[in-house]
Chain A
């Protein structure tokens, strides 16, 4: 990926990520998050990780955020736009963010492997759907199945809770 494209999509991701927090209108926030996700997906494409990029769009931009937007629209949140900025929360949150960025900076300074450029992969190794599947079902088989059970439990929980509401 050309560096220009990388910077373009990185800046797009960051600007819209800030817009998620800065916007007062919840619908605008949700849409900014979608654009941010799309930028992130483009960065994955730049790393030849097509599968992850597509799943990023399919799951987050295409399904999760649609549900978010759906709920926001149904609730019609007007209160958010009238709320005043709480100075202490603003400063506190800003400090946490700065501390986090500083930490990442320090860790990255010590990350020696990140300083050398990654060798270009041979074309036959980039069939990432196959690679991800291989690793998921061999090395990480147990965690994968545990997550499956977890999601099943959560699904049943949702069904039980929403049924109770109806009565």
Chain B
């Protein structure tokens, strides 16, 4: 027991508080409402209505009517979750039991763990709004998300049937190929910011302007204009790789319904299936958050001070700092939400690629563009000062 009292209690308490806030109060609700948004936006794009009836079930508490505000259907995620939890958890007889159970957990966990390194706000009551501010944040996210492949591979393999297996195989080769393009297209950002820590990358953008929108710090220098070219390229290749990495359409070959029934999770039902779903959407949120941190300035919004009342407009410093801390967090997740909307928009607009086209795109185009981009950035950095 002795070591227990030597641990820095405050650190543990704040880390736990931040983890619980991030996962249970922000990301998981965000996941369920992304699913809802996915259904409503797809309906909008296809000229349907989508789920617009389910309200919050106040009748359970004795009220006369259910509460159904604004858009309608906002209670749908709750209904979905209840359905997943109450459905029969059926395990087919031909599966490899242990790995069949393990796979959904392995699909879900890495996606959540990656969130630890993301700086989702500046300061709140003097606390840095990041669970683990490590100096290898970006690499950490790549490393942990690459472990996420195991869930899908094992799901495909342990199901012991053809379509899941094909889905698992496709997913593995897809994720391995696109990890390279993704990692390389993030290198220009690291070259410019001079750090692999996500906190340091955000700080750089607060000082010098967002990387994709370099004029947010007030002016444009020749260097910033020149660096804009490789950064826009990096942003495009990174985003495309992120679509492939999270198995989203137009790259959702591992679970393409028309060919593979439902791919690797064909044999899964109820909450196990829901865990794959949660894992996929959490990975999407983590991916969008990474794009926000790398290219869109993280929690920073021009003219708004940070949570310690530094920077921004002078007269805004009169308002207590914690309000700005909350504003920063809101700004961050608003940016993430916009990117999530783009994810959904793309899904319901573009047709699916063929598998060989997907591999060709990854290896012959994105990989090369990302590689050339690194040299371009390094050249610009070396010759302009």
A interface vs B, CB < 8 Å?
A: 2-4, 27, 31, 34, 38, 50-51, 54-55, 57-58, 61-63, 66-67, 69-70, 73-74, 126-129
Annotate B150-175 by CB proximity to A: 1 below 8 A, 0 otherwise: 10011001000000010011001101
- B173 proximity list for chain A (CB < 8 A): 70
| Cα of A55 to Cα of B136 in the assembled complex, Å | 10
Decide if A54 touches B139 in the complex (CB within 8 Å): yes
B interface vs A, CB < 8 Å?
A: 3, 6-7, 99, 134-136, 139-140, 142-144, 146-147, 149-150, 153-154, 157, 165, 168-169, 172-173, 175-176, 179, 195-196
Contact among A4, A50, A74 for B134, CB-based, below 8 A: A50
Decide if A129 touches B176 in the complex (CB within 8 Å): no
Most A Cβ at <10 Å: residue of B140, B143, B196: B143
Most B Cβ at <10 Å: residue of A3, A31, A66: A66
| Cα of A73 to Cα of B99 in the assembled complex, Å | 13
| Cα of A96 to Cα of B134 in the assembled complex, Å | 41
- Given A27-B157, A57-B144, A73-B169, the answer on whether A2 and B150 have CB atoms closer than 8 Å is no
Decide if A54 touches B169 in the complex (CB within 8 Å): no
Decide if A129 touches B149 in the complex (CB within 8 Å): no
| Cα of A63 to Cα of B177 in the assembled complex, Å | 10
Report the 3 A-B pairs with minimum CB-CB distance, sorted nearest first. A62-B146, A58-B143, A57-B143
Decide if B143 touches A54 in the complex (CB within 8 Å): yes
Contact among A2, A58, A73 for B146, CB-based, below 8 A: A58
Decide if B144 touches A74 in the complex (CB within 8 Å): no
Is the contact region of chain A dominated by helix, strand, or loop, or is it mixed? Answer: helix
The total of interchain contacts (Cβ-Cβ below 8 angstroms) comes to: 74
Closest to A27 in B: B157
Least CB distance from A22 to B in Å reads 16
- A69 proximity list for chain B (CB < 8 A): 150, 153, 172
- Given A31-B150, A69-B153, A127-B135, the answer on whether A2 and B143 have CB atoms closer than 8 Å is no
Decide if B7 touches A2 in the complex (CB within 8 Å): yes
Decide if A54 touches B136 in the complex (CB within 8 Å): yes
- B172 proximity list for chain A (CB < 8 A): 66, 69-70
| Cα of A50 to Cα of B197 in the assembled complex, Å | 11
Closest to B194 in A: A130
| Cα of A51 to Cα of B172 in the assembled complex, Å | 25
- Given A2-B7, A51-B139, A61-B147, the answer on whether A73 and B176 have CB atoms closer than 8 Å is no
| Cα of A73 to Cα of B264 in the assembled complex, Å | 14
- A38 proximity list for chain B (CB < 8 A): 147
Contact among A31, A62, A128 for B143, CB-based, below 8 A: A62
Closest to A67 in B: B176
| Cα of A50 to Cα of B165 in the assembled complex, Å | 35
- Given A34-B150, A66-B153, the answer on whether A74 and B169 have CB atoms closer than 8 Å is yes
